[in-house]
Amino acid sequence: MIQTAVGPLNGDLWERLIQSVYKNRYDNYQEMVTSPGDLGIEGFVLKEGIVIQCYCPDKYYDATKLHEKQVNKITADIKKLNLNHQALGKRLGTTKIKTWIFITPEVAKGQLHEHARKKEEEVLGWGLSLIDSEFTILIKSLDDYLPDIQKIQTLSGNKLDLSGTNKHYNIEKPVLTTEYEKNISEKNEIRSVINNILDLETHQFLNGKTTEDFLHGYDILKNIYVSSPEIYGRLSKTINRFESDVQEQSMTWEGTPKELIDHIKQKLLVRLEKDSLISSSLEYDDLSEVIDHMVARWIAHCPLRIR
């Protein structure tokens, strides 16, 4: 199982969910019965020329490994179009395949689209009557189907908890821009001055640590959201309200940069632990990871002034 914004998923659950999405979207969607084989597709939209194929890993992989598996899955299933073109043609009738959609919870790397373009050329090179001259491979992720999934879960009595609190108090996914890299480096340079001398090793270490916390510390927030949108909502609400205190305190701070950061971390920890739901649900290490991420974010985004 992997954790996602709609709960834990594996290959079977993901396919069932996407089958439901397409059955709700299209009256003429046909699920491909797996006996004697799925022929490389999960189903097709008759007359539209759309076929779909799902992939969901059964366990967590890092981006490099997941990308490799997604590439291999596309390669293997596209090949089945050629191997099974006669059987597919009987099921599709006069419909030609115009769009082949690869549906996965999360796209590991953008290069997957490059692989899709190569496979389009390969398929068109077969010269099969089953394939439309404008054949295209599309890559879709969970985000593309969230409204459909919400509708399905609502109708089934298992509505997603996307309350107003979570909508108004959200912590966006971090993106490292040139401006943010500059902010991180400049502020860490001030933090790295020891006895009026810039320690280059410390500066390099702090830049790496801040960038790591900024980009990858967000994972803990995603996991909290998946496990409990309510706790995530309470966390994000408290953190967003605390941000104004960060700006005010850093602008008037008279101590050292280290003392300022330690003070903000401790104060945010106290603020979060005052919420009984948060303190009873999250371990100290998890809270510390959230706090490290937020401090890195405030360094990059500038609410945290270091002088």
One domain, residues 140 and 26: yes
Tell me the pLDDT tens digit for each residue of 239-254. 988 988 898 889 899 9
Statement to judge: residues 142 and 234 lie in one domain: no
pTM equals 0.54
| Measured distance CA(212)–CA(255) in Å, rounded | 26
pLDDT confidence tier of residue 164, bands split at 50, 70 and 90 = very low
User: Residue 31 corresponds to which amino acid?
Assistant: E
Q: How far, in whole angstroms, is CA 60 from its chain's centroid?
A: 13
The answer to whether residue 174 scores a pLDDT higher than 50 is yes
Angle between helices 284-301 and 178-191 in degrees, nearest 10: 110
pLDDT for 162: 34
Q: Please report the pLDDT score of residue 40 as a whole number.
A: 83
Instruction: Tell me whether residue 307 is in a domain.
Output: no
Q: If you ran DSSP here, which 8-state letter would residue 114 be given?
A: H
Instruction: Please tell me whether residues 203 and 278 are part of one structural domain.
Output: yes
Q: What is the DSSP string of 154-193?
A: HHTT------HHHHHS--PPP---HHHHHHHHHHHHHHTE
Domain range holding 76?
Answer: 2-155
Is the domain of 10 the same as that of 150? yes
Domain endpoint, select from 86, 120, 155: 155
Mean pLDDT value of segment 66-80? 96
Q: How confident is the model at residue 36 (pLDDT cuts 50, 70, 90)?
A: low
CA distance 235 to 277: 10
186 and 292 together in one domain: yes
For residue 214, being part of any structural domain is answered with yes
pLDDT exceeds 70 at position 207: yes
Q: Which residue has the higher pLDDT, 234 or 180?
A: 180
Q: How many domains does the chain have?
A: 2
CA dihedral 20, 25, 26, 30 (to 10 degrees): -20
Contacts of 177 (CB under 8 A, 6+ apart): none
